């Protein structure tokens, strides 16, 4: 039986992913800031800021899936929060490499989360692909540093996969629940111009991509983890309304209101371009939910 170490397993993606890995027969080690009562796996603790990690977490592991990171949409982007967002991803990746080397083990694969924010908070007609450069904004820079820290595994002869993930649609909590709540109450509307694209992915497809990243030895480097069909914020809003059988009749929430509430972070709601799923599809990956309406109908 192969053993996978998952960081950030208590989060939105991690909980779904660990369930899938378990059904596929993997043993799971979980590495988190604290042990959680409701995670039925072997748990180990680390403190990224102090550079401390329980070395037992690495015993007998074949792969690491690195999901941990301070949530980018929680709290205003103060200097302190920005540092936390960066450190929780970059320092943690470096700490994992150090611990793997200290344990003297050879991993089959290191899979790191990344985000479509790599391409920048910008609204355009461009369809970004993996060969495009990272943007020079805050999230673009964080994603670049995060991916470069993951590349250090590759330089140590470990196959490395980086999944530039779009907005993950899950049945409860997460971005979809946040968008659906006001729509359900009859007060939902698009944000800003509504024309910004919102690259998205159904949680089941994302978890299958993580699984394939572990098992498909031909996979290496960055892959956009986004559904093949593109939708703007206005289209996502109206599709949620249709699925919930609610009218979305209110005018769009003006950009300045979001900037007042969220400060600099508002860009993640107000800007977005299309992102290509071509490279992951070229690996043979087949999306179960390539279309938004079917994905949302399944989730809601
Ligand atoms: N959800 C999305 O739509 C989406 C889209 C693109 C990219 N991603 C990326 O995918 C990864 C997982 O996403 P998610 O939605 O599952 O995130 P999440 O629900 O916010 O969970 C992330 C986990 O990271 C750990 N964590 C939080 N703050 C930390 C800190 N300061 N230092 C170290 N660990 C910390 C926590 O686990 P413990 O408490 O167990 O340590 C937390 O449960 C993240 O890196 C995220 O940026 C997510």
User: Which DSSP symbol is given to 147?
Assistant: H
Residue 69 CA to residue 57 CA, distance in Å, equals 18
As a whole number of Å, the CA-based R_g of the chain is 19
Q: What is the pLDDT of residues 107-138, one digit of tens each?
A: 999 999 999 999 998 898 899 999 999 999 99
Kindly provide the b/e burial profile for residues 216-228, where b requires at least 16 CB atoms within 10 angstroms of the residue's own CB: beebeebbbbbbe
Listing DSSP states for 252-270 in one string gives: PBPHHHHHHHHGGGGHHHH
Ligand 1 lined by 127 (C-beta under 6 Å): no
Ligand 1 lined by 67 (C-beta under 6 Å): yes
The residue with tokens 């989730």 is 299
Report the nearest atom of ligand 1 relative to the CA of 92: 33
Q: What is the pLDDT of residue 104?
A: 93
Ligand 1 center–CA 68 separation, angstroms: 5
pTM of the model: 0.95
Q: What is the pLDDT of residue 116?
A: 95
The residue with tokens 């800021």 is 49
Using alpha carbons, select from 58, 49, 13, 51 the residue that is nearest to residue 31.
58
Residue 13 CA to residue 273 CA, distance in Å, equals 23
Ligand 1 lined by 14 (C-beta under 6 Å): yes
Q: What is the mean pLDDT of the chain?
A: 93
Average pLDDT over residues 129-158: 96
- Other beta carbons within 10 Å of 294: 14
Tell me how far the alpha carbon of residue 177 is from its chain's centroid. Answer: 16
3-state SS class at 175: helix
Q: Which residues contact 269 (CB under 8 A, 6 or more apart)?
A: 191, 192, 233, 258, 262
Q: Which residues contact 77 (CB under 8 A, 6 or more apart)?
A: 85, 138, 263, 264, 265
User: Which DSSP symbol is given to 242?
Assistant: H
Residue 199: pLDDT band (50, 70, 90) is: very high
Q: What is the pLDDT of residues 221-240, one digit of tens each?
A: 999 999 999 999 999 998 99
Average pLDDT over residues 138-153: 96
Ligand 1 center–CA 9 separation, angstroms: 8
Q: Which residues contact 260 (CB under 8 A, 6 or more apart)?
A: none
The residue whose CA is least distant from atom 31 of ligand 1 is 70
Q: What is the pLDDT of residue 106?
A: 92
The residue with tokens 């904004």 is 137
Q: Please, what are the domains in the chain?
A: 3-168+200-226+275-289 (3.40.50.720)
Ligand 1 lined by 71 (C-beta under 6 Å): yes
Q: Which of 29, 44, 68 to mutate to test the pocket of ligand 1 (most atoms within 8 A of CB)?
A: 68
Instruction: Read off the tokens for 163.
Output: 């999944």
Element (H, E) at 40: none
Ligand 1 center–CA 15 separation, angstroms: 11
Instruction: Read off the tokens for 173.
Output: 């909590």
pLDDT at 274 over 90: yes
| CA dihedral sign, ordered 112, 212, 36, 12 | positive
């Amino acid at each position: 039986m192969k053993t996978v170490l998952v960081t950030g397993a208590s989060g939105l993606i991690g909980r779904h992913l660990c369930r899938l890995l378990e059904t596929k027969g993997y043993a799971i080690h979980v590495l988190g800031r604290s042990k959680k009562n409701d995670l039925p796996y072997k748990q180990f603790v680390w403190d990224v800021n102090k550079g401390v990690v329980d070395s037992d977490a690495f015993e007998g592991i074949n792969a690491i899936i690195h999901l941990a990171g301070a949530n980018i949409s929680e709290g205003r982007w103060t200097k302190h929060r920005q540092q936390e967002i960066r450190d929780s991803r970059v320092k943690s990746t470096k700490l994992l490499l150090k611990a793997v080397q200290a344990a003297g083990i050879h991993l089959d694969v290191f899979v790191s989360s990344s985000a479509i924010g790599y391409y920048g908070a910008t609204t355009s007609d461009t369809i970004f692909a993996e060969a495009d450069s990272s943007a020079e904004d805050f999230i673009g820079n964080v994603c670049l540093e995060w991916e470069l820290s993951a590349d250090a595994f590759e330089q140590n002869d470990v196959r490395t996969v980086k999944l530039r993930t779009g907005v993950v649609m899950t049945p409860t909590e997460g971005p979809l629940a946040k968008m659906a709540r006001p729509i359900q109450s009859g007060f939902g509307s698009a944000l800003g111009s509504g024309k910004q694209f919102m690259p998205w992915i159904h949680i089941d497809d994302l978890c299958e991509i993580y699984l394939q990243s572990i098992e498909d030895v031909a996979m290496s480097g960055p892959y956009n983890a986004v559904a093949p069909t593109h939708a703007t914020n206005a289209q996502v809003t109206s599709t949620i309304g249709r699925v919930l059988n609610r009218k979305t009749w209110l005018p769009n929430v003006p950009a300045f209101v979001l900037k007042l509430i969220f400060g600099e972070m508002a860009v993640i709601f107000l800007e977005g371009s299309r992102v290509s799923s071509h490279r992951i599809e070229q690996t043979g990956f087949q999306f179960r939910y390539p279309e938004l309406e079917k994905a949302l109908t399944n989730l809601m």
